[in-house]
């Protein structure tokens, strides 16, 4: 089976490869697609770099995406193979949450309307709850990975760091030393946890919620780069930003705190004790209500065992007490969000066409889509 896609724009790039906006070469198919083209893995052999195949991230994302299907998780349409390069074809979303946040940060009111904020937050939690119920941790939740359609439907993307929780072949720490983008990384990860739980995703959602309220990252620390791939540095600035807002972690607030490998690093801070200032901070944002603060505090508990679960968060009174929001929050709104910026400054875009052969198993899996 052969399938053609016309590349019509370049969306973004990362360590994994590049993402393009595309349409089907079949004129009867009017859908838009996002094509994620992976770089081939390489290793140094003598003075020559040799291609060794598909990255672990790509394999992981393909395996997870082909097994899951949920309204708030981006849908995999097809996996393509051309010239030894793997590409994943996804449904297209016009926006991402980072773009929505930036739009409102420059607007006159400087706030995301409550009904839109509540809907987006609930949908993120709904998608993550589905992942957790299916024994999957996302491990890289951040606004840029939250896609949103023209009607406001959330589609969680980028499962390249996703991991099965049940019966892992390798311990989490041995296979992935660093997970979660720094500003959304849970404190147990910062303190060197070798084993962790889906609570790290809930922490990240709490950070995203705070960012939607303030229109800027809640904990914006400077990342210390790894100089040695075998040694993960203690992210002191990030931990400091968390402590400045949430107060000093203690054994009373976080039983077992002293057992974390990097616990001793906390004694290096000049100030030894901070109060929890989250309630005061919450009073400075425009989109506040007491129930929202309660949910935020439960998401940002230091102790991962005390953190609210995604399933519990769906039933929080912040959502259940208000029936005015919908899961298509952009409909009937006076706000017009510009679509994600698409560039033509890329060699793939200039060719305007990519003909690829679909992997047989994926063709069967998505036949009829």
Q: Which residues are catalytic?
A: 140
In the structure, how many helices (H) and strands (E) does the chain have?
Answer: 13, 13
Which single residue is written with the structure tokens 């919620």? 209
Surface-to-core class of residue 212, CB atoms within 10 Å of its CB (0-12 exposed, 13-18 middle, 19+ buried)? buried
* Residue 334 CB partners (closer than 8 Å, separation 6+): none
Picking from 299, 337, 315, the residue whose alpha carbon sits closest to that of residue 122 is 315
Convert 224-257 to b/e letters by CB count within 10 Å (16 or more is b): eeeeeeeebebbbebbbbbbebbbbbeeeebeeb
Residue 15 marked in a binding site: yes
Q: Compute φ and ψ for 156, nearest 5 degrees.
A: -70, 130
In terms of C-beta distances under 8 Å and separation of at least 24 residues, what long-range contacts does 31-34 make, across chains too? 31/91, 31/92, 32/92, 33/5, 33/77, 33/89, 33/90, 33/91, 33/92, 34/74, 34/89, 34/90, 34/91, 34/92, 34/93
Question: Among positive and negative, which fits the CA dihedral 110, 114, 117, 121?
Answer: positive
Residue 16 marked in a binding site: yes
CA pair distance 198, 201, nearest whole angstrom: 6
Residue 305 marked in a binding site: no
Residue 173 marked in a binding site: no
Q: What 8-state DSSP symbol labels residue 13? A: E
Residue 25 marked in a binding site: no
Binding residues for ATP: 11-19, 36
Binding residues: 11-19, 36
């Amino acid at each position: 089976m052969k399938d053609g896609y016309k590349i019509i724009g370049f969306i973004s790039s990362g360590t994994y490869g590049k993402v393009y906006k595309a349409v089907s070469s079949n004129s009867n198919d009017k859908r838009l697609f996002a094509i994620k083209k992976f770089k081939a893995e390489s290793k140094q052999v003598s003075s020559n770099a040799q291609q060794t195949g598909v990255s672990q991230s790509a394999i992981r994302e393909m395996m997870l995406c082909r097994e899951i299907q949920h309204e708030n998780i981006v849908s995999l349409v097809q996996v393509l193979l051309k010239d030894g390069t793997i590409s994943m074809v996804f449904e297209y979303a016009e926006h991402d949450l980072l773009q929505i946040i930036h739009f409102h940060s420059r607007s006159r009111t400087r706030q995301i309307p409550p009904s839109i904020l509540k809907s987006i937050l609930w949908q993120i939690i709904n998608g993550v709850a589905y992942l957790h119920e299916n024994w999957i941790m996302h491990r890289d939740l951040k606004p840029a990975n939250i896609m949103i359609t023209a009607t406001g439907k959330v589609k969680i993307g980028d499962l390249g760091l996703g991991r099965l929780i049940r019966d892992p072949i390798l311990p989490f720490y041995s296979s992935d030393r660093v997970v979660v983008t720094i500003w959304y990384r849970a404190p147990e990860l910062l303190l060197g946890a070798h084993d962790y739980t889906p609570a790290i995703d809930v922490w990240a959602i709490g950070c995203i919620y705070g960012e939607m309220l303030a229109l800027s990252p809640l904990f914006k620390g400077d990342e210390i780069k790894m100089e040695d791939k075998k040694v993960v540095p203690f992210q002191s600035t990030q931990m400091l930003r968390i402590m400045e807002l949430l107060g000093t972690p203690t054994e009373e607030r976080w039983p077992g705190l002293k057992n974390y490998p990097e616990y001793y690093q906390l004694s290096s801070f000049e100030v030894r004790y901070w109060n929890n200032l989250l309630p005061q901070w919450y009073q400075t944002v425009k989109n506040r209500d007491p129930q929202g603060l309660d949910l935020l505090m439960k998401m940002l508990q230091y102790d991962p065992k005390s953190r609210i679960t995604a399933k519990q968060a769906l039933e929080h009174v912040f959502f259940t007490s208000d029936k005015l929001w919908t899961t298509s929050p952009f409909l009937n709104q006076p706000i017009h969000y510009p679509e994600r910026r698409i560039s033509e400054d890329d060699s793939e875009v200039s060719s305007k066409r990519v003909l690829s052969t679909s992997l047989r198993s994926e063709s069967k899996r998505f036949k009829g889509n």
